[in-house]
Chain A
Amino acid sequence: MLANRKLILAHFWFAFAVFGVALTLGAWQMFIRSPIGTWLSNPELYYRSLTAHGTVMGYVFPTLVAMGFGYAISESALEQRLVGVRWAWAGFWLIVAGSIMAVIPIALGRASVLYTFYPPLIGNVFYYLGVVLVVVGSWVWVALMAVNLRVWRKAHPGAPVPLAMFANVAGSYLWAWTAVGAALELLLQIIPVAAGLKATIDAGLARVFFSWTLHAIVYFWLMPTYIAYYAIVPRAIGGRVYSDTMARISFILFLVVAMPIGMHHTFADPQVGAGFKFIHSAFTALVALPTLLTVFTICASVEIAARLRGGRGLFGWIRALPWDNPMMLALAFSFVMLGFGGAGGLINMSYQLDASIHNTQWITGHFHLIFGGAIVIMYFAIAYDLWPHLTGRELTDLRLIRTQLWLWFVGMIVTTFPWHWVGILGMPRRMAYFDFGDPAIAPQALSVTFSAIGGFILLTSGIIFLVILARGMRAPQADAGPYRFALAVHQPATVPVALNTHALWVALMIALTITNYGYPILTLALTEGTSVPAVYVGAQ
């Protein structure tokens, strides 16, 4: 059993509890704006719900999963006592306090600005302060991951850092730096206005600051999933990691190129020129590289497992895989959704194609497929894999676990495929209702109905997930042994310094951010007369 099981369980339970609430809100939103729901008499309720859903799913839930998983990795991969447990608890409570502080104004309808803030719309100041507390809490974790790795390095000079910890620390640095964009927007621009110290704000500059966070945050959400691909899946299905080196290169590439690409979210914006839009588009293409490398390495690792189990032939080995193993199932579903979502992503980041789908329901479909689908299904898998090591009890109902994963996969496809389709038809995002009686909108009604049904399938799956975890707390006791990560086919005896440390890559990440963001931010900040009056919401 893991020594810090209480700490990790606290992170996971709070994460999954708020996930359950936000998932319910999401399903309600799908229903209420579909033709099977009745029109809301008060559309403001929809935007309240949407703000809560986005804030929880974007800031609170994945951050807590990454943190809890990170502590588990630090303890088990480094095989050393976690340094700074008190600090870790302090970080956790900061996040709990921040979440509560943010959710109260949302629930009161005082902060319906969506999790993307959208100044010059300005909500209640406590909403933003709550988000800041969540981020500060997570920065405690970033510092602890660095400290724990440093302690380990001192005790093991020159030894290769275990892959899981190497990736985990890379993810934590990525998060620390990507959160700076939104932090600057909040601290320099939004909070002074929300607190009444200023009455104007530069909306264009705010959008550029937010784009700094908005894209790389997705790669932060992705990190636990990729760590699970490399460090858990091969072990769980009885295989080996095809290449330890390639895995390290992938994580380094994420660290460096996930960051300076966020302006592909502002292709349609008037405050950024074409030059930087193109540069960010080209860099976004680069970020596909670590994913392509990962798909290769993981498929090869899975093939190793299949061949060890007696699989033969060019494709015949696929049948020899342990398909009744939830980890195998989750990986396959995750890859299918990553494939479709990734293909859609290439369209979004395209300099030319983006205009046809920008801010339509296609985008909502896209990130639900990637984040809610490919990423979150692996969060489930991580929880299932860790649970026996946290509770000292076995998860016995594999059939129910498989059902849950199947429902999530089917639900996500049923939800997001029609969502993409209505986006191509030009259906805009974030509307509380649509007039399906309009002959121009009526053809979208069937697709929206399917999406709503998919939402309820997802809700069912989410409830089953929580039930499985809760029942796992009361199952018969069983010793799961020490928590272990997958080994590589050729386990490295030594690793080049560049692939064993992060300093060079963090420096490159910061340098690229400055070259790709420095000039646009400076020119916008120095342009006179672009600050516009704030529009306060919920204040009437």
Chain B
Amino acid sequence: MSAEDTHGSAEVAARVERRWATIAVIIIVGMALLAAFAGIHRATMPQPRVETTDPSRIHLSGEFVESNLGSVLEANGNVTVRAIGQQYSFTPACIVVPVDTPITLRATSADVVHGILVQGTNVNTMLVPGYISEQLMRFTRTGDYLMPCQEFCSFGHEGMWGKVQVIDKTDFANRAKGGGRLSCVGQ
């Protein structure tokens, strides 16, 4: 191989390599733009805001006292669910919500790190003590969904399973008439 050949092949090599690098950069920039578009345009994004709460006082006052936990039908027809996770259960252990309704889940932990995952959906958030998790959800099918704790929370973690019961809208509205906080615990 002459010196010229070597030079020529080096150029070919560099050209092919540049082409591949360009394709790789385009793929990556494209992915990031797609994520930004979906995030801004469709408002699909992880929890955007940071809210704090004191876990040693949540049972005494404020949003997460026991009497305020469960589902509530808001004036605008939306539903808010408040729940807490503690070693080794959720309160309420069975969450009842109406189908085809915008729902806001607000939850926190009373002790260690937990997680809420509703099987068969994209509902999936961490519960970190000291902070409030908020997640928007909407169920399109009635029925029961399992809701395991998805984060290791010590020796009883494997027993920490809750349930979400999605019921008909009118059923839910009837049950909500009396006011108060709804759940399906004990049903």
Contacts of A271 in B (CB 8 A): 50, 128, 130-131
Question: How far apart sit A6 and B120, CA to CA, in the bound complex (Å)?
Answer: 54
| Interface presence of A143 (CB below 8 A) | no
| A194 CB, nearest partner CB in chain B, Å | 15
Mask for B135-156, Cβ within 8 A of A = 1, else 0? 0000000001010111111111
Interface centre among B126, B132, B134 (most CB of A within 10 A): B126
B133 on interface, CB distance cutoff 8 Å: yes
- How does the 8 Å CB contact mask read for A412-446 relative to B, with 1 for contact and 0 for none? 00000000000001101111111000101100000
CB <8 Å contact, A432 and B158: yes
B32 within 8 A of A: yes
A278-B39 contact given A47-B152, A242-B13, A535-B154, CB 8 Å threshold: yes
- Residues of B contacting A118 with CB < 8 Å? 112-113, 151-152
The residues of A that contact B111 with a CB separation of less than 8 Å are 120, 532-533, 535
B56 in the interface (beta carbon within 8 A): yes
CB distance from B126 to the nearest CB of A (A): 5
User: Does A515 interact with chain B (Cβ within 8 Å)?
Assistant: no
On chain A, the residues within 8 Å of B149 by CB distance are 428
Residue A289 interfacial (CB < 8 Å):
yes
Surface stretch bound by B, among A352-360, A387-395, A478-486? A352-360
State A350–B32 Cα separation when bound (angstroms).
9
- B155 near A44: Cβ-Cβ < 8 Å: yes
CB pair B50–A203 under 8 Å, yes or no, is no
Nearest Cβ in chain B — how far from A75, in angstroms? Answer: 31
Instruction: Give the segment of B40-48, B59-67, B96-104, B174-182 that binds chain A.
Output: B40-48
B25 to chain A: which residues have CB within 8 Å? 289
Given A270-B50, A530-B131: A292 and B27 within 8 A (CB)?
Answer: yes
A36 at the interface (CB under 8 A from B): no
Taken residue by residue from 254 to 296, chain A's Cβ proximity to chain B (1 for < 8 Å, 0 otherwise) reads as 0000000000001111111111011001100110110011001
Q: A201 to chain B: closest CB distance in Å? A: 9
Hey, what's the 0/1 contact readout for B1-40 against A, CB within 8 Å counting as 1? 0000010011001101100110011011001100110110
CB-defined contacts of B52 to chain A, threshold 8 Å? 527, 529-530
A438–B120 CA distance with the chains assembled, in angstroms: 15
Quick one: closest A residue to B51, CB to CB?
A270
Distance in angstroms from A395 CB to nearest chain B CB is 34
B103: min CB distance to chain A, Å: 15
Q: Assess the A273–B152 pair: CB atoms within 8 A.
A: no
Q: Which residues of A contact B146 (CB under 8 A)?
A: 426, 438, 440-441
Question: Do residues B48 and A274 form an inter-chain contact, with CB atoms below 8 A?
Answer: yes
Instruction: Kindly supply a per-residue 1/0 record for chain A positions 199-217, scoring 1 wherever the CB is within 8 Å of any chain B CB and 0 otherwise.
Output: 0001110010000000000
- Is B85 positioned at the interface, with any CB of A under 8 Å from its CB? no
**In the complex where A243-B17, A282-B32, A530-B131 touch, is A426 in contact with B117 (Cβ < 8 A)?**
yes
A490 contacts B by Cβ under 8 Å: yes
Q: Is A383 an interface residue (CB 8 A)?
A: no
Find chain A residues with CB under 8 A from B125 CB: 268, 270
Check B45 against A278 for contact (C-beta < 8 Å): yes
The total of chain A residues at the interface (CB under 8 A) is 71
**Contact B130 A202, beta carbon cutoff 8 Å:** yes
Which of these, B17, B46, B48, B129, contacts A120 with CB under 8 Å?
Answer: B129
Please give me the residue from chain A that is nearest to B87 by CB atom.
A535
Decide if B24 touches A352 in the complex (CB within 8 Å). no
Q: Does A151 count as interface, using CB distance less than 8 angstroms?
A: no
Contact of B122 with A355 in the complex, beta carbons under 8 Å: yes
Interface residues of A in 524-540 (CB under 8 A from B): 527, 529-533, 535, 537
Which residues of the other chain, A, contact B154 by a CB distance below 8 angstroms? 47, 112, 121, 535, 537
Q: How far is the CA of A220 from the CA of B35 in the complex (A)?
A: 27
Interface check A351, CB cutoff 8 A:
yes
Which of the residues B50, B127, B150, B155 comes within 8 Å of A358, measured between beta carbons?
A: B150
Specify which chain A residues have a CB less than 8 angstroms from the CB of B55 in the assembled complex: 532-533
Q: Which residues of A contact B150 (CB under 8 A)?
A: 358-360, 428-429
A430 close to B152 (CB less than 8 A): yes
**Contact of A532 with B56 in the complex, beta carbons under 8 Å:** yes
Q: Provide a sorted-by-A list of 12 A–B residue pairs whose CB atoms are within 8 angstroms.
A: A43-B156, A47-B155, A243-B17, A268-B126, A270-B126, A274-B46, A281-B32, A285-B28, A352-B39, A432-B157, A490-B13, A532-B55
Question: Interface residues, chain B, CB within 8 Å of chain A?
Answer: 6, 9-10, 13-14, 16-17, 20-21, 24-25, 27-28, 31-32, 35-36, 38-39, 44-52, 54-56, 87, 108, 111-113, 115, 117-120, 122-134, 144, 146, 148-158
Binding site for B on A (CB under 8 A): 43-44, 46-47, 112, 114, 118, 120-121, 202-204, 207, 242-243, 246, 266-275, 277-278, 281-282, 285-286, 288-289, 292-293, 296-297, 300, 346, 350-352, 354-356, 358-360, 425-426, 428-434, 438, 440-441, 489-490, 527, 529-533, 535, 537
